[in-house]
Amino acid sequence: MINLNDKLAKQYLVECSEHLATVETELLAIEKGGGEIDEEQVNRAFRAVHSVKGGAAFLDLVKIGELAHRMEDALALVHSWKVAPTTEGVDVLLRATDRLRELIQNPGESDRADISKSMDALAGLHEDQRASSAQGCASPAGQADQDGRRLRVLLVEDDFVSRLVLQTFLSRYGECHIAVNGREAVDAFRFALTQGQRYDLICMDIMMPEMDGREAVRQVRALELAHGILSMHGAKIIMTTAVCDIEAVSECYQDLCDAYLTKPIDLAKLLSQMKACQLVR
């Protein structure tokens, strides 16, 4: 675990509290809407919770990450299936937000906290949404090998050695395409969408010429949204960078990446992230 007394860690925990304030504001607005869903409100709440989850992963705060992930799932259902949550459903999300705030205020003790009540309540909301709205759910791009299909991978890396190492490793799991900068990556992703051959996984370097990785991710997520694909059901994006900076991590998760690995890439950690994203068993 990163030292939680570190200046940047403290700064990020403050940012997490700000993210939760955003979530609370948007949930109250959704509740006030009386059955009408404003996609921008749900998107803002989703992004805020996603950022909390990402910071928790970087700081190795397991229970904060688990609870944020469960909240993210619930918000994704609200967005994807255009189902307005009931007053009771919003109350569940608001209580989970309060519980996350409590954990973030005492992060050193958070992994010993009991979050089962909040997790169970959110799971119930998840099942209620699933039962009422399953017909409208978009199929996720992940879990590609569950039906025997090999992964489609886009590797975006401008350094030859790093690219060779990752390509050799990722080719074990599927078809691996290469882009050497963010602009090429966006073009490749756009073409794949138009051909109905979505990528399951994108490994995206951050520092690249012509277009950096963060801008490329923003454009990829915008393309998915234009095709009716929420990031929850889109390509899994793992950012790779030589910069180990929690502020950079926060920014990447706000752009809706799914994981963040520092160079030199530990292939065991990469595989672990692929498993966490349910891309491989």
Determine which helix (DSSP H) or strand (DSSP E) holds 205, and give its type and residue range: strand 201-205
Q: CB neighbours of 111 closer than 8 A, spacing ≥ 6?
A: 61, 62, 63
Q: CB neighbours of 4 closer than 8 A, spacing ≥ 6?
A: 10, 13, 59, 107, 108
Q: What is the pLDDT of residue 229?
A: 84
What is the value of pTM for the model shown?
A: 0.76
Q: How far apart are CA 66 and CA 64, in angstroms?
A: 6
Domain match, 155 and 257 both? yes
Out of 81, 101, 136, a domain closes at 136
Domain match, 107 and 165 both? no
The SS3 call for residue 73 is: helix
Give the count of alpha carbons within 13 A of 21, CB side only: 6
Q: What is the pLDDT of residue 140?
A: 47
Q: What is the pLDDT of residue 138?
A: 43
> Tokens in use for 275?
């498993």
Domain match, 153 and 236 both? yes
Domain match, 148 and 272 both? yes
**Does 72 map to a domain?**
yes
Domain match, 123 and 153 both? no
Domain match, 27 and 120 both? yes
Domain match, 260 and 166 both? yes
CATH number at residue 18: 1.20.120.160
Q: How far apart are CA 68 and CA 62, in angstroms?
A: 10
Q: What is the pLDDT of residue 43?
A: 84
Domain match, 16 and 65 both? yes
**Does 281 map to a domain?**
no
The SS3 call for residue 249 is: helix
CATH number at residue 174: 3.40.50.2300
One digit per residue, pLDDT tens: the chain, 281 residues? 556 667 777 887 888 899 999 999 999 988 887 666 777 888 889 889 988 988 888 788 899 999 998 998 888 877 765 455 678 888 999 999 999 999 999 988 999 999 999 999 988 876 554 444 444 444 445 445 545 568 999 999 999 999 999 999 999 999 999 999 999 999 999 999 999 999 999 999 999 988 999 999 999 999 998 888 877 789 999 999 887 666 777 778 888 899 889 888 999 999 999 998 889 98
Domain match, 106 and 196 both? no
**Does 154 map to a domain?**
yes
Q: What is the pLDDT of residue 136?
A: 42
Q: How far apart are CA 3 and CA 9, in angstroms?
A: 7
Q: How many separate domains does the chain show? A: 2
Is the link from the previous residue into 140 a cis peptide, with omega within 30 of 0?
A: no
Q: How far apart are CA 26 and CA 191, in angstroms?
A: 35
Out of 85, 101, 136, a domain closes at 136
Domain match, 96 and 160 both? no
How many Å from the N-terminal Cα to the C-terminal Cα in the chain?
26
**Does 189 map to a domain?**
yes
**Does 240 map to a domain?**
yes
Q: What is the pLDDT of residue 89?
A: 84
**Does 249 map to a domain?**
yes
**Does 2 map to a domain?**
no
- Residues 242, 262: contact at Cβ < 8 Å? yes
Domain match, 101 and 170 both? no
Out of 87, 104, 136, a domain closes at 136
Edge-to-edge strands of the sheet including 174-179? 174-179, 151-156, 201-205, 236-241, 259-262
**Dihedral angle sign, alpha carbons of residues 216, 194, 198, 265:** negative
Give residue 51's domain range: 7-136
**Does 1 map to a domain?**
no
Domain match, 122 and 15 both? yes
CA distances to 22, 64, 84 from 42, rounded to whole Å, are: 11, 20, 10
